[in-house]
Structure 1
């Protein structure tokens, strides 16, 4: 097995952060991490002189020439790696890329890539696969004959791609900037099962996922959590006496990885019950706000549609129209040549709104362009039918747009004529009024009031069970002005507005008068949303149950992260809760990502049946010199060992840490037997 890092930066470019290259740091990184081969992959450029200097300095390491290119409309990143013998020719090809990309937003096309580099099968192409900025799927499809692997940015994603047959072979590299004053060298490298380090051997190896691993000894079942500590990609338990370095180990792991869910010791304990209860409710509301927003999605559009309607103004327009019409009729005998002209009182054309037609075209366009769900779409609707529909809708839009433009042109002419005629006569002009709009506004408000009335009926809009707890979201009318104020979380007086709460239209007008309210939030003040957590008996949770739910929620949230770490959960919870509700959740999550638990408790440490066991020990010499050692192995191993080969008895370590020693364990066993008898 050979250790590779084929993604290293040594130049600060327009597409990168500013840094100063350090040959010393690069040399130290390669040496400390025992890397067999690297690739220099700077953004959109290749420095031949620097490459040769690096290759000469790192004479014991294979150094491949490479470049990281912005490609496609979204400027996704693609690593292109060449043979060492072709470095001069490769340098000339990279110059074409550098000339084309002059800013961080610039990119090249697939056609340009092929034109610049010629036959792509001469190179190793590695796209950002599950890593930002990722390569567009369309480009992946165009380059599929030349791409056999993809770079990911986490252990979790590596494991997923290994298990998922259609996925590319995953590779996990550092993206390291070899700069001055590096505090921690990355541990993101990949092992390749190759005898010789050549581009051909690497490409052949990448065709077999089993030969590309995170660890040297146990494939992708293990990964490096620390430079000298391999852990399982599944469930790990760390045990040890007090102050033996368990939490310190977690903190060190936390430094090396991004996107870790870390539940620290005592984090969920309540010190102020009243504040904790309020924080708990607010936290639940925030977590479930997406569900609420989705429930009110249609109503949000309704409020947005009616918020600018003024029935008062509509009534005023009708009154003005009737008054002017009556006066105009009484002055018929005194009408002059200007007021008798037909254009004098001509109505303008109603302009059609084409927005819905535009959205329809956009929807069909989405169906046509999707790659992820292409098979599902074409299973129900033939592609040629979608294309025909798309064309018909566009033709209809063009035709209607032409009519709109003609109407606008005619309206402009009529408006100018009317203005001139009206300026030359003393006759009363009949005020314009759009009766269709007035009637439509009345209908919208009536429908709006019906919708609000329905929304105010108390109902459950969401319910989810989480390990015996029910997360419940209910809607109900607001009880008073104070509840509106509490919802706003501001010093706003709602008394005047709430006096009209039963009249939905007038209530909306009152909300509009409150300057501190954003119009995008008006919908929130028509219906109150209540978030509750109920225990298995249907009652609201107690303080202790709140803490239990918080732990379950935090553990469940780990699915959004790449690694989960939990520090001594038994510090805050009883054994029955841990065994019945927490343990199996942790095991389920460990099927998708590494889980690391620190514990002194046998319910967690032993009953959870970990995949890998770590034991920390502290040694004190001369009452002052403190040192720490880490021993590790599988739970079934007779002995645990450290990175120097030193061993300790697994059974003794486990009994000492989880059971307070063998004698205490045996004594408790006798007591339990006495109780049984």
Structure 2
């Protein structure tokens, strides 16, 4: 025997707060109750039987097993781009992992901010990642040893060791980073639209274009010179190598002392920046519907915390011994092939989040459920429909 279907009916109630108390008082005032739409939202049909909904807020009230969940399920299946919060999906459960899941969910949603906060440090780290202090020390030591030995053997030089290219130094190729950045800056001044009036007030656009063209020509010229020097360096290396095979004289090892000192200064500055990043402080906070999301940075307290951040089943205990010395710590990380260099920037400072209630304390179980519901509702702005099944936090 089929189930009897009754015609649908809608009643519109004008009240600001959806609670049993508000509905009770609204129903007592006939001016707040109507059988048809008077203003505000439009009406659209959702079911073939003629069931209509308002584009505003709709509340389905009924006793247990009266079909509320089934109605929401049908709406979810028949409509597109729906945000559906099922019954009991966000409420506190008797589950030991609930708090862990809650913290993981908050951390995941805020991970974009964490990456943004650490992005400048990642740039610094990437700049010093290729520096190897041990290799630099060895190169300087080899240079000094061969220089002294070559001086002692000066009177024993033969025709091969007296050749000009035998101890010739290589050209410094250098980088044109500053010039490239300068061209980019001038180009930005030319193409900027937002502050066009201010720029034109002080600088002529044609002059900027002429400057950009001349800088580009200089950049091309330097790139050409660098290519020629690189080719000459290849020839010098080959000739030196062949001369070395023809003589027993000591050849002075090549070393760029300026580069060695420059890289040493870079590591000193890297130590300063990393230690500043490890100082405990609040880097972000946001108030949200009576809750406060607080983001802090601090130093890692142990190797286990770094392991949790990495998500890898690799021990950090050996590397963590040098954690107080960032440059040594970075070197220890590089020696372990199990670690991914692109993730190193996450291993220097702990970024943690706390959800606090209006009194400034960590949220309780019920407050966690309420916060998660409010977050879900906030995310619903990207959807056309929001369906909430029996969340009594409103009542």
- Does residue 425 (structure 1) correspond to residue 247 (structure 2)? The answer is yes
The number of residues matched between the two structures is: 352
| Corresponding residue SS for 1:465 | strand
After superposition, residues 477-516 of structure 1 pair within 5 angstroms as 477-516=299-338
Specify whether residues 266 and 364 from structure 1 end up closer, same or farther in structure 2 by C-alpha distance, changes over 3 A only. farther
Specify whether residues 534 and 338 from structure 1 end up closer, same or farther in structure 2 by C-alpha distance, changes over 3 A only. same
Higher relative contact order (CA 8 A, sep 6+): 2
* Bigger fraction of residues in helix: 2
After superposition, residues 592-603 of structure 1 pair within 5 angstroms as 603=395
- Does residue 378 (structure 1) correspond to residue 196 (structure 2)? The answer is yes
Q: Offset of 1:327 from its aligned partner?
A: 0.8
Q: Distance in 2 between matches of 1:522 and 1:254?
A: 44
| Corresponding residue SS for 2:161 | helix
Specify whether residues 557 and 478 from structure 1 end up closer, same or farther in structure 2 by C-alpha distance, changes over 3 A only. same
After superposition, residues 311-350 of structure 1 pair within 5 angstroms as 311-350=133-172
**Which deviates further from its counterpart, 241-250 or 422-431?**
241-250
Q: Offset of 1:540 from its aligned partner?
A: 0.7
| Corresponding residue SS for 2:96 | helix
CA contact (8 A) 2:277 2:349 kept: yes
Specify whether residues 433 and 257 from structure 1 end up closer, same or farther in structure 2 by C-alpha distance, changes over 3 A only. farther
Q: Specify which of 55, 69, 87 is matched with residue 233 of structure 1.
A: 55
Q: Distance in 2 between matches of 1:455 and 1:366?
A: 31
| Corresponding residue SS for 1:296 | helix
Q: Distance in 2 between matches of 1:403 and 1:429?
A: 28
Q: Partner residue of 2:121? A: 299
Q: Offset of 1:237 from its aligned partner?
A: 3.0
Q: Distance in 1 between matches of 2:206 and 2:44?
A: 49
- Does residue 248 (structure 1) correspond to residue 248 (structure 2)? The answer is no
Q: Offset of 1:418 from its aligned partner?
A: 2.3
Superposition RMSD on alpha carbons, in Å?
2.6
Specify whether residues 324 and 258 from structure 1 end up closer, same or farther in structure 2 by C-alpha distance, changes over 3 A only. farther
Q: Offset of 1:386 from its aligned partner?
A: 5.4
Q: Distance in 2 between matches of 1:356 and 1:547?
A: 53
- Does residue 526 (structure 1) correspond to residue 344 (structure 2)? The answer is no
Specify whether residues 254 and 384 from structure 1 end up closer, same or farther in structure 2 by C-alpha distance, changes over 3 A only. farther
- Does residue 436 (structure 1) correspond to residue 258 (structure 2)? The answer is yes
Q: Offset of 1:243 from its aligned partner?
A: 3.7
Q: Offset of 1:376 from its aligned partner?
A: 1.0
- Does residue 540 (structure 1) correspond to residue 362 (structure 2)? The answer is yes
CA contact (8 A) 1:273 1:543 kept: no
After superposition, residues 372-411 of structure 1 pair within 5 angstroms as 375-382=193-200, 384=206, 387-411=209-233
CA contact (8 A) 1:349 1:407 kept: yes
Q: Deviations over 1:333-367 (max 9, x none)?
A: 01112222222211111113235544555566677
Q: Deviations over 1:36-73 (max 9, x none)?
A: xxxxxxxxxxxxxxxxxxxxxxxxxxxxxxxxxxxxxx
Q: What TM-score do you get using the length of structure 1 for normalisation?
A: 0.49
CA contact (8 A) 1:263 1:567 kept: yes
- Does residue 282 (structure 1) correspond to residue 100 (structure 2)? The answer is no
Specify whether residues 517 and 381 from structure 1 end up closer, same or farther in structure 2 by C-alpha distance, changes over 3 A only. same
Q: Offset of 1:514 from its aligned partner?
A: 3.1
Q: Deviations over 1:180-209 (max 9, x none)?
A: xxxxxxxxxxxxxxxxxxxxxxxxxxxxxx
Q: Distance in 2 between matches of 1:327 and 1:308?
A: 31
- Does residue 271 (structure 1) correspond to residue 93 (structure 2)? The answer is yes
CA contact (8 A) 2:41 2:56 kept: no
Q: Offset of 1:550 from its aligned partner?
A: 0.9
After superposition, residues 23-102 of structure 1 pair within 5 angstroms as none
* 5+ long unaligned stretches in structure 2: 1-38
CA contact (8 A) 2:189 2:199 kept: no
* Bigger fraction of residues in strand: 1
Q: Offset of 1:270 from its aligned partner?
A: 2.1
Q: Specify which of 294, 302, 311 is matched with residue 472 of structure 1.
A: 294
**Which deviates further from its counterpart, 314-323 or 553-562?**
553-562
CA contact (8 A) 1:459 1:474 kept: yes
Q: Deviations over 1:96-154 (max 9, x none)?
A: xxxxxxxxxxxxxxxxxxxxxxxxxxxxxxxxxxxxxxxxxxxxxxxxxxxxxxxxxxx
Q: What TM-score do you get using the length of structure 2 for normalisation?
A: 0.81
Specify whether residues 396 and 558 from structure 1 end up closer, same or farther in structure 2 by C-alpha distance, changes over 3 A only. farther
Specify whether residues 226 and 443 from structure 1 end up closer, same or farther in structure 2 by C-alpha distance, changes over 3 A only. farther
Q: Offset of 1:389 from its aligned partner?
A: 4.8
